[in-house]
Structure 1
Amino acid sequence: MSDLVNVTRAELAKLARRPATWVLLAAAVTLNQVFGFVIPYLSFKNGSGGAMTDGQTGAQLLASTLPDQVVTNTTGAFPVFTGALALVLGALVAGTEFTGGTLKTVLTQGPRRTSVFGGQLVALVMAVGGGVLTLFVTCAASSFAIAQVEDQAVVWPSVADLAAGLGSGWLVMAMWASLGAVFAVLLRSVALPIGLGVVWILGIENLVSAVARTSLTALQPLRDVLPGVTSGSLISSVLPAQVGPLPPGVQSAVSGGRGLATVAGYAVVATLAVLVVGRRRDVAA
């Protein structure tokens, strides 16, 4: 247990000193701010909805930026865009030791392989949890500022809604990060897992979902077990009453309970795969 704790501390220290960590966090914050607040608010000020805002009225655009929508604005991008960033982080954490040739050096220092890979996974879960909290704080600050500027009532979601939304969002982000880690361990690299993962999230899943919804409904059972679809269904099930259309990737393809079970299952299987493969992986080449 002491080795696991020490490795986790070391991995967290490495994450804090790694520029890519802060770049990914900055990208996540920027995405949330631009699509959750900047575009809707500027469209509201301009008095037009337009294609970028699905033709919403000015009142709807303003309402979508207020504090009662903070859970939606924080977690709405997790199934797709922010989830892709979490997958990149997972691949970086687990794959850098292989590409840099440092895993052999780490293992010669004493910790067992299970402790090394377990510590990486624990650090990942803690890191994405910190990212979720950062996104919530920045979204809450923006929504509060807009409410003050526009003289709107400040009504926050209930504690239960906050806990359900942020907890589900943390689980979704942990799932994507663990999937990135398992791809990195299986492929012993960083670039290939990132490339394959991003193509899967942004391309293949959207294609399968669109085809299953329209021309080839026989693919619906496959669609309903995809990680992006189930995570989007989980997020959809815990959002408070939202204003306007759901964010991209957030849908109700399956029930919230099934989405929760599937997302948790992916995270558990990915964790076990990292530990099992990591113990048996040849690190000499």
Structure 2
Amino acid sequence: MVGSFRAELLKLGKRPATWLLLGIALTLGALFAYVIPYLGATSGTTGATADRGLAATLPANIVGNTLGGYPVFLGALLVVLGVLFVGGEYGWGSWKTVLTQGPSRTTVLFGKFGVLAVAALGFVLAIFLMGTVASVLIALAEDASLTFPSAFDIVRGIGAGWLIATMWTMFGAVLGILLRGVALAVGLGLVWMLAVQNLISQLAAPLLPWVDSAQRGLPGPGAGALVAALGAPTGTPGVSALMGGGPATLVVAAYLVFFLALGAVVLRRRDIL
């Protein structure tokens, strides 16, 4: 397991797509969590999210501000990462090459899953660091307070972000395994993240009470409720206080375990890779 983990970690670090996705995540996080709200607050522009104000971009709100993108946009990038890292092995024929060397399918797969969990943590920490720098710069520019949340709140926020980010990367990995490739898995993953979830939450749920109840058991609304409980602005796409932080954590954790188990079972039972 350790050998597989080290090999997969080296492989992930050498792929340009990994760093490209991280760069896109940092850029989107900076733009939509800090730059655009700051420009809107200082220019006096009115709009749907104008009520967030300058205070939302200050260090005191760093936990919620950096978590707001995980239910949809940053989550979609992590789904793509999971698909590329696992589904890409089918196109290159890497599965057969690795497994003929001796490691079991489960060992190789959980080595990949472990690396994806580390990558998800790296994304979360990088985005939090970006948010820290951006919020401090804004506070200095506006001569505002540099007070940060408590250490407990910061660690709890990073832990919640890691849980959500890992769940989305495993979702992408399982799509890659089920569909044995990249293109269709990425397409379906993005359709679910960017279209289906929003249609359920914004169109179907307000009209049908049973859909409103059922959506609480879906991964996207669960992630959105979890980050909302930690202070993410509810006007952010995908962020909605449908339930408390405790139930939302259980929903996200349950999907993480489900994706891990599903990926392992499917890969082990297939006759042909």
- Whether 1:164 aligns to 2:161 is no
| TM-score normalised by length of structure 2 | 0.96
- Whether 1:132 aligns to 2:127 is no
For 1:54, give the aligned amino acid.
T
- Whether 1:255 aligns to 2:235 is no
Q: Deviations over 1:190-248 (max 9, x none)?
A: 11111101101111111111234422222123211111001111111122xx6x65422
Alpha-carbon offset, residue 280 of structure 1: 1.8
For 2:245, give the aligned amino acid.
G
User: What are the within-5 Å matches in structure 2 for residues 75-224 of structure 1?
Assistant: 75-224=67-216
Alpha-carbon offset, residue 85 of structure 1: 0.7
Distance in 2, Cα, partners of 1:45 & 1:219: 40
Task: State which of 13, 37, 45 in structure 2 corresponds to 1:40.
Answer: 37
Aligned partners of 1:78 and 1:169 also within 8 Å: yes
Distance in 1, Cα, partners of 2:149 & 2:45: 26
- Whether 1:74 aligns to 2:63 is no
Q: Paired residue for 1:236?
A: 228
Distance in 2, Cα, partners of 1:210 & 1:185: 30
Aligned partners of 1:212 and 1:223 also within 8 Å: no
Distance in 2, Cα, partners of 1:253 & 1:45: 32
Distance in 2, Cα, partners of 1:182 & 1:129: 19
- Whether 1:13 aligns to 2:7 is no
Change (3 A) 1:62 1:55: closer
For 2:248, give the aligned amino acid.
G
Distance in 1, Cα, partners of 2:236 & 2:212: 21
Task: Structure 1: state its 5+ residue gaps.
Answer: none
Distance in 1, Cα, partners of 2:179 & 2:88: 12
Q: Paired residue for 1:55?
A: 50
For 1:49, give the aligned amino acid.
T
Alpha-carbon offset, residue 162 of structure 1: 0.8
Q: Paired residue for 1:264?
A: 253
CA RMSD of aligned residues (A): 1.4
Distance in 2, Cα, partners of 1:246 & 1:69: 15
Aligned partners of 2:82 and 2:173 also within 8 Å: yes
Distance in 2, Cα, partners of 1:44 & 1:220: 34
Alpha-carbon offset, residue 163 of structure 1: 1.5
For 2:217, give the aligned amino acid.
V
Greater than 3 Å deviation, 4+ residue runs: none
Aligned partners of 2:234 and 2:241 also within 8 Å: no
Distance in 1, Cα, partners of 2:138 & 2:230: 24
Q: Paired residue for 1:24?
A: 21
Distance in 2, Cα, partners of 1:44 & 1:72: 18
Instruction: Between 274-283 and 68-77, report the one with greater CA deviation.
Output: 274-283
| TM-score normalised by length of structure 1 | 0.92
Alpha-carbon offset, residue 12 of structure 1: 1.1
Alpha-carbon offset, residue 256 of structure 1: 1.6
Q: Deviations over 1:80-137 (max 9, x none)?
A: 1101111111111111111111110011111111111000000000001011000000
Q: Deviations over 1:156-186 (max 9, x none)?
A: 0111111111111110010011011111111
Which secondary structure state, in structure 2, belongs to the residue aligned with residue 214 of structure 1? Answer: helix
